[in-house]
A and B are shown apart, each in its own frame.
Chain A
Amino acid sequence: MAEEGKQEQPEQKTATGLLERVKEEIEPLKEKFQQDLKGLKQPEKTQLYRSMFRVKHDETPRSRSLGVISNVFLHLHPARVNRDAVRYSYTWGMGGISFYLFIVLTFTGILLMFYYHPTKADAFRDILYLEHDVPFGKLLRNMHRWAAHLMIITVWLHMFRVFLTGSYKKPREFNWCVGVILLVLTMLLSFTGYLLPDDQLGFWAVTVGTNMARATPLLGHEGPLGPQLGMTPFNDVRFALLGGSIVESNALLRAYIWHCIAIPVIATTFMIVHFWRVRKDGGISGPAPVMLEKEVRWDRLDESTVRGRG
């Protein structure tokens, strides 16, 4: 017993010692916790925040510039722009809206791809399924279609604005060409998507559209000099587009792959060039100060119209 009692005492001692030790060690932890709490009230000073954003977001000109330049999505923009260019009246916002619609279309398009099989047996049924069973499926499809139509309109109007402001002139000639290619790609994107529901509307629209390819000079079997060069319905350019002599399952698959992969990749590449060139060609073209007829050296053919921005 004595032995037992002897054994118990040191145990109690160690137990109270542990409690005290814990208390002792908690004190500084509490202080640290208080400090952390204080730190949370200023989240922009945390390491996490600083590692993400790098720069302060106060209202100094330096921070405002850095906020744009050091952000991967915003660095397409310069830090500062012509004060009149931010007005709606000059650009009509059509280029930016077109790009935004492209993003909307990519987003809704990816969601649609989850519910769609590009096969003759499934395609039309998938659309019915999408419209009646998939949650928000109808909204998704509607939004994809209307955004596509809207994008064509905004791209046309963008071209119209760029022409009216003479923005294609030196030094932006090449970017206008890139823009024309993007205009064509936009319409081709929309056109290849037209067939995918595999309904009468898409089928006949694509039939009418690709029938024109028959008549391609030299390369179509109904085109000028096509038959003389050995073109038949089974080897001409229309055959290559459709993967067959009629709009059938191969055409559906080809339209699908052009629509979902090939043209978006090509268009994205051209868009990268387009946006890059906007910056490299001196930023947005105006509104620039007007020039007078007598200020131009008419005899100098290489007289450029490049001026400083704004």
Chain B
Amino acid sequence: MDWHQLWVILSTPDNIPIASLLLLVPFYAWYGFRQALANDRLIEQLEADPVLAKTHHRKTQPWQPHWPKEVHVWPYLLKVEFLAAIIVTAILFVWSITLNAPLEEPSNPSLTMNPSKAPWYFLGLQEMLVYFDPWMAGVVLPTLIIVGLMAIPYMDVNPLGNGYYTYKQRKFAIWAFCIGFIGLWVLMVIIGTFIRGPGWMWFWPGMTWDHNRLIFEVNRDLHDLVGITSIWGKAVFGALAVGLYFVLAGWAVHKIITLTEFSRKVYERMTLLQYLALQFFLVFMLLLPVKIVLRLLFRIKYLWVTPWFNI
């Protein structure tokens, strides 16, 4: 166990935000879900008792009948905002006095940094480079992430859960988003920061970053498993394999979308376009974990090899 190496990585000033991300994301996830579960208990109570549902104010926050529903922005909101500004300023001052922004040697194109890492918030994309070619990891998938995020409100036809935390009424949406945000984005950033060392190799926390380390990984492409060698054979076989993935993943996604009676109700409300868009983005999102598993467990590099592009 190389504690020094661990300390070097953790205490690098630029890594502090990611170290704090390690605490902040779980904290706020817990904070949000705690309120979601409280609301879910209230919802259950109201569903079981229609009389109560008519009279209850329907929030977990305290309420008295003579209280106004709204409060004045001045002072009740402005004082909170003012306080927040002061606290953030204080945090920034303490942070800026105690930790210096990194400054390395002057830039030198002939001296490559190893590992040379993108800024931490893009490490998710750099980590995807392990599993995809740059045109996928650097261009197509980021574009799909942005477009997919923007499409969320137009694909989510579930009318419940607007303006309050809930898990019970939005299980599918919350699972899909948390897998994407926490599992495939924040986790990738954390792996890229704390796990990836020289040569972008995998170093468990506490392993020494050995610049001379070599890993003999024989990566195979999917067609190698069946012994296809001709270019056209590879291209056709790969297209079939990717097509099969789309069919299987689409089937799995459909099963999940229509898993419960409630989710079938939501599904009934969808237009064909909404359904197909949801399928499209989820199938592409699942491509990443599928390729991670294929690579790590079966050492398979490409599913589809053509003279122009590989997937």
Report A's interface with B, CB cutoff 8 A.
Answer: 61, 64-65, 67-68, 74, 77-90, 92-93, 96-97, 100-101, 104, 124, 127-128, 131, 138-139, 141-147, 149-150, 152-153, 156-157, 159-161, 163-170, 172-174, 176-177, 180-181, 183-184, 187, 190-191, 194, 197-205, 207-209, 211-217, 220, 222-225, 228, 246-247, 285-294, 296, 298, 301, 303-305, 307, 309-310
Pick from B31, B153, B161: contact of A89, CB under 8 Å: B31
Residues of B within 8 A of A67 (CB): 74
Q: Are A80 and B181 in contact (CB under 8 A)?
A: no
Residues of B within 8 A of A (CB): 14, 16-17, 20-21, 24-25, 28-29, 31-32, 35-36, 39, 42-43, 46-47, 53, 57-59, 61, 67-78, 80-81, 84-85, 88-89, 91-93, 95-97, 99-109, 111-113, 116-122, 125-126, 129, 133-135, 137-140, 146, 149-150, 152-154, 156-157, 159-166, 169-170, 173-174, 177, 181, 186, 262, 265, 268-269, 271, 308-309
What separation, in Å, do the CA atoms of A93 and B93 have in the docked complex? 20
In the complex the two chains form, is A177's CB within 8 Å of B61's CB?
Answer: no
Q: How far is the CA of A145 from the CA of B269 in the complex (A)?
A: 47
**Which listed residue, B72, B105, B177, B308, touches A80 by the CB 8 Å rule?**
B72
Minimum CB–CB distance from A19 to chain B (whole Å) comes to 55
Partner of A199, one of B16, B103, B153: B103
Q: Give the complex CA separation of A80 and B170 in angstroms.
A: 30
B160 touches A293 (CB 8 A): yes
CA distance A125 to B81 in the complex (A): 39
Q: Given the interface contacts A147-B92, A225-B308, A290-B166, does A82 sit within 8 Å of B70 by beta carbon?
A: yes
Contact B269 A301 (CB under 8 A): yes
Residues of B within 8 A of A212 (CB): 125, 129, 134, 137-139
Verify A86–B77 contact, CB threshold 8 A: yes
Known A89-B31, A180-B149, A220-B135: A81·B160 in contact at CB below 8 Å: no
Residues on A with beta carbons closer than 8 Å to the beta carbon of B95: 142, 146
Specify the chain A residue showing the minimal Cβ separation from B137: A212
Q: Point out the residues of chain A lying under 8 angstroms from B102, CB to CB.
A: 201
Query: Knowing that A200-B104, A200-B105 are A-B contacts, what are 5 other residue pairs whose CB atoms are under 8 Å apart, sorted by A's residue number?
Result: A77-B78, A81-B70, A142-B101, A200-B113, A217-B135
Chain A residues, CB < 8 A from B154: 173
The distance from the CB of A310 to the nearest CB of chain B, in whole angstroms, is 5
Please give me the residue from chain A that is nearest to B70 by CB atom.
Answer: A80
